[in-house]
Chain A
């Protein structure tokens, strides 16, 4: 029997430390009971590690005060938004203090005339999107977790999403940030202007830093005018390569769709029949295309996309006429995640990204894995960006886990050989840190480490993440 210890405040900080935190922040913001710690011990990867103290800050000074104490006593510190990350970024691997930033969820201001909004990190991305829509504005990054993940988490992992091809990723929309450094000092990076080239771009350094450099307390994002409307088209193909060629051809025709999503044969067969979805048996690949803009250009673009798909032997091209049809088409995409468990009950989801011209080669590699029939790999994703989600599905049977890990290794190697990257949008965390050296050369890695040492000389920020363990 292994019982978690109920009270570790003495161990974690020493009684003096906790009482200091309580004095600084107030009792409500300092949680040390096991029940609370358990609730902040995991993220979307299902990994679990217990923090010793949960801090629920409300203001920048709460964060700063806590970090001063942590810095003095060399206690590991983690930041956590909604805990929905897919690379383990918010898991407190080495215990210590975890910040629950969900409580810092105010939209500080929206400036329609400046095209900017300043928010606290705990604001849910969808909430920000909805609020700016009221001003006729648009915050494009749209990870599939947008309805429950926070903007702080999105920035820390540099989240992507389905609108990446046309609008880019989170990184492209962050103008300025207020950041608390590990020693408790507060810095402001960037300016709230649409362009600024004064000095090194510190903001970009912090975007995607996965909580290893500092904690964001205010984030200023760039907004753009909201497209008038969005139309959706689904194209069904009998051959996978046709679908990929069609996707290429769409872009070659100087059409940049808002989204360009792809599903392979394995994914389609998992989705078929799930939640009443019907798909013909001869459909081997699927493209989902969203076009946005004004009514006129959408019509024009749709007709070209339709023609291109038919040129590339599409079995059927369906343009959604109503909102209901649009939802029906997108429900196919949304059902992928749960439906994949029809193949096997464990999933490793790798968000690799390759140059668009190499997608075919990557998928051929996947075919070879599937031919062995040991584990099955379903691929789908943001084909416009070359960001393909490679899902390795395996069962509980002995040996399957090892096979899956081997497959992941070989996929990663292949991706890097093709000139791609091991993470397109989820981040490295601890899940992928072992693969960092595949992609990043020793010299570049050492530069990154020097940055890390500069900002966080005591190594208290999110230890165990990003860098391969030595």
Chain B
């Protein structure tokens, strides 16, 4: 290789500055380049491009580590193409913790190429301030009524209106945090749990929050909704803004550690992954005692409540979609099914653990790929013959509902806890 003198354009030599912690450097060497990640990567299965799979990105990280390349627009594009679903880590025979590598790359990109202004303002100034966030969304929820073309509670996504016909849900009039400010007291509660709402449930899917609280209350569990909780930090960490993520994590730690809780539940697969797993890295091992108490809502019900003799399953045929961050990162796929089987007529769909294509900036940057993944998912759902598709992640609910709405399908999309909520209600009225 000839000696290379970087041109002025390439002199983003900040690019060679050390990233975060250095553990990713060793992780890179663990990759044996076998290519097994090809079999699961949802992006690679669409593009067949080596730069869009873990093995390719690891080789880019390797070159960065060995100071053979610098951060460029192209590199950023390739890093942003990752959906961070972590399927690759799950199947990796060499046990590479890809999350360490991709986080380091994202952070490197952010440090060297900057974060676009709008997300930066949101991460740094809005997400950490609950009141400001509330006010902004309140204004938006008032304004959204002027948006034309609404359908079954969905409306057109304005920035994306020109890219395609994307349907997104409307903002709730009152956020979940405000609605459930007061803790409903339970006499001699079996447990006292904290509810981590997450932004989507807080501002859009308030009914999911309602279902979580109602179901748990009926099981004699007291649910506290800490008012000062903030965003889990996933949006900022997916853009490499480690600083903002850390700030959010620390705030959330303060909020939840100050309360005496038996457990923390969340109904969002991504938030659960973030506060349970990612915080261990951002906050260090001192988070361990809290991390052990964090559960996905179905996981919690299946673990602590188990059989629900009083519940009569709904007549409705329901299928389940596995959110990436629950099934692949946390290995939770049996529990939600077990709960659904007790609350409905459960039918399995093929490729239930295939990605729906939703999730963060990926859907904006690679809308075409998102649509291809979504199409596969919608096909699977339709083939299953179910009347409702349930899942445990509001992000997936949003994505799948969009896919079904644009196909004019009559299949409903819901959170699996809402199925249980309905089953409980019906069982009570019948009694």
* B10 CB contacts on chain A under 8 angstroms: 3, 6
* B16 CB contacts on chain A under 8 angstroms: 1
Contact B35–A83 (Cβ < 8 Å): yes
Contact B35–A148 (Cβ < 8 Å): yes
B 6-24 contacts with A by CB, 8 A: 6-7, 10, 16
- Alpha-carbon distance between A145 and B38 when the two chains are bound, in angstroms: 11
Minimal Cβ-Cβ distance residue in A for B9: A6
Interface check B32, CB cutoff 8 A: yes
Minimal Cβ-Cβ distance residue in A for B48: A102
* B72 CB contacts on chain A under 8 angstroms: 6, 35
- 0/1 per residue, A34-60, Cβ < 8 Å to B? 111011111111101010000010000
* A2 CB contacts on chain B under 8 angstroms: 1, 3-4, 66-68
* B93 CB contacts on chain A under 8 angstroms: 337-338
B160 to chain A, nearest CB (A): 24
* A38 CB contacts on chain B under 8 angstroms: 56, 59-60, 63, 69
A 12-51 contacts with B by CB, 8 A: 33-36, 38-46, 48, 50
Q: A42-B33, A44-B35 are in contact. Are A4 and B50 (CB under 8 A)?
A: no
* A337 CB contacts on chain B under 8 angstroms: 34, 93
Q: A3-B68, A3-B69, A337-B93 are in contact. Are A46 and B4 (CB under 8 A)?
A: no
Which of the residues B38, B69, B95 comes within 8 Å of A4, measured between beta carbons?
A: B69
Minimal Cβ-Cβ distance residue in B for A102: B48
Best-surrounded residue of B2, B63, B75 (most CB of chain A within 10 A): B63
Minimal Cβ-Cβ distance residue in B for A47: B33
A427 to chain B, nearest CB (A): 16
B65 to chain A, nearest CB (A): 12
Best-surrounded residue of B2, B69, B75 (most CB of chain A within 10 A): B69
B383 to chain A, nearest CB (A): 15
* A4 CB contacts on chain B under 8 angstroms: 1, 4, 63, 68-69
- Alpha-carbon distance between A82 and B56 when the two chains are bound, in angstroms: 11
A129 to chain B, nearest CB (A): 13
Contact A100–B74 (Cβ < 8 Å): no
Contact B56–A84 (Cβ < 8 Å): no
Minimal Cβ-Cβ distance residue in A for B31: A46
Contact A145–B34 (Cβ < 8 Å): yes
Contact A42–B59 (Cβ < 8 Å): yes
* B63 CB contacts on chain A under 8 angstroms: 4, 38
* A82 CB contacts on chain B under 8 angstroms: 35, 38
B116 to chain A, nearest CB (A): 20
Contact A3–B67 (Cβ < 8 Å): yes
* B328 CB contacts on chain A under 8 angstroms: none
- 0/1 per residue, A169-213, Cβ < 8 Å to B? 000000000000000000000000000000000000000000000
Interface check A5, CB cutoff 8 A: yes
Interface check B70, CB cutoff 8 A: yes
Interface check A105, CB cutoff 8 A: yes
* B4 CB contacts on chain A under 8 angstroms: 2-5
- 0/1 per residue, B52-68, Cβ < 8 Å to A? 00001001100100111
Contact A147–B39 (Cβ < 8 Å): yes
* B48 CB contacts on chain A under 8 angstroms: 102-103, 105, 122
- Alpha-carbon distance between A214 and B48 when the two chains are bound, in angstroms: 23
* A35 CB contacts on chain B under 8 angstroms: 51, 60, 69, 72, 74-75, 78
A392 to chain B, nearest CB (A): 15
Interface check B36, CB cutoff 8 A: yes
A113 to chain B, nearest CB (A): 28
Contact B74–A33 (Cβ < 8 Å): yes
Interface check A87, CB cutoff 8 A: no
Q: A4-B4, A35-B60 are in contact. Are A84 and B78 (CB under 8 A)?
A: no
Which of the residues B35, B60, B67 comes within 8 Å of A84, measured between beta carbons?
A: B35
* B94 CB contacts on chain A under 8 angstroms: 338, 341
* A56 CB contacts on chain B under 8 angstroms: 49
* B49 CB contacts on chain A under 8 angstroms: 39, 56, 102
Minimal Cβ-Cβ distance residue in A for B75: A35
* B56 CB contacts on chain A under 8 angstroms: 38-39
- Alpha-carbon distance between A84 and B38 when the two chains are bound, in angstroms: 10
Minimal Cβ-Cβ distance residue in B for A36: B51
Contact B67–A1 (Cβ < 8 Å): yes
- Alpha-carbon distance between A50 and B39 when the two chains are bound, in angstroms: 25
Minimal Cβ-Cβ distance residue in B for A339: B93
Contact A5–B59 (Cβ < 8 Å): no
* A124 CB contacts on chain B under 8 angstroms: 38
Minimal Cβ-Cβ distance residue in A for B67: A1
Q: A2-B3, A5-B4, A338-B93 are in contact. Are A39 and B51 (CB under 8 A)?
A: yes
- 0/1 per residue, A66-79, Cβ < 8 Å to B? 00000000000000
- 0/1 per residue, B93-104, Cβ < 8 Å to A? 111000000000
- Alpha-carbon distance between A1 and B10 when the two chains are bound, in angstroms: 14
Contact B38–A100 (Cβ < 8 Å): no
Best-surrounded residue of A35, A45, A145, A338 (most CB of chain B within 10 A): A35
A229 to chain B, nearest CB (A): 22
B 67-86 contacts with A by CB, 8 A: 67-70, 72, 74-75, 78
* B34 CB contacts on chain A under 8 angstroms: 44, 84, 145, 337
Contact A43–B33 (Cβ < 8 Å): yes
Contact A40–B50 (Cβ < 8 Å): yes
- Alpha-carbon distance between A257 and B376 when the two chains are bound, in angstroms: 38
* B78 CB contacts on chain A under 8 angstroms: 35
- Alpha-carbon distance between A40 and B66 when the two chains are bound, in angstroms: 17
* A379 CB contacts on chain B under 8 angstroms: none
Interface check A387, CB cutoff 8 A: no
Which of the residues A39, A148, A338 comes within 8 Å of B38, measured between beta carbons?
A: A148
* A50 CB contacts on chain B under 8 angstroms: 1
Interface check A259, CB cutoff 8 A: no
- Alpha-carbon distance between A338 and B36 when the two chains are bound, in angstroms: 12
- Alpha-carbon distance between A50 and B1 when the two chains are bound, in angstroms: 9
Interface check A220, CB cutoff 8 A: no
Which of the residues A43, A145, A338 comes within 8 Å of B95, measured between beta carbons?
A: A338
Best-surrounded residue of A5, A82, A103, A337 (most CB of chain B within 10 A): A5
B425 to chain A, nearest CB (A): 37
Chain B positions near chain A (C-beta within 8 angstroms): 1-4, 6-7, 10, 16, 32-36, 38-39, 48-51, 56, 59-60, 63, 66-70, 72, 74-75, 78, 93-95
**What would 5 A/B residue contacts be, using CB atoms closer than 8 Å?**
A1-B16, A3-B67, A46-B33, A102-B49, A145-B34
Question: Assuming A35-B51, A35-B60, A48-B59, what are 12 further A-B pairs, CB within 8 angstroms?
Answer: A1-B67, A2-B1, A2-B3, A4-B4, A5-B1, A5-B2, A6-B69, A35-B75, A42-B59, A82-B38, A122-B48, A337-B93
